[in-house]
Amino acid sequence: MSGQRLEVDWPSCQARGLCHELLPEIVALDRWGYPLVHGDVTPELVGAAKAAMKACPRNALRLRA
């Protein structure tokens, strides 16, 4: 069974990088600071993914099944 996916709402994102700070296991930043999500959110990372969603000042992150 695959994990959940973290999706970025690109028009809302302002490249602040908090998601990378809270979830570096699957979120990298491009050279402009925008998030690059690689891989699924495993059960072990669900808490960190939810924290990243809550910390995003633009509410630009969604967790999808």
Q: What pLDDT, in 10s, does the model give residues 12-63?
A: 999 999 999 999 999 999 999 999 999 999 999 999 999 999 999 999 999 9
Domain limits for position 43: 5-64
The domain spanning residue 40 has which CATH number? 3.30.70.20
Number of domains observed in the structure of the chain: 1
Is residue 7 within 8 A of residue 56, CB to CB? The reply is no
How many Cα atoms occupy the beta-carbon half-sphere of 30 within 13 Å?
9
pLDDT in tens, 47-58: 999 999 999 999
| Residue 3 pLDDT | 82
1 has a pLDDT exceeding 70: no
2 has a pLDDT exceeding 70: no
CA 59 → CA 12, 25, 44, 45, distances in Å?
Answer: 7, 20, 22, 19
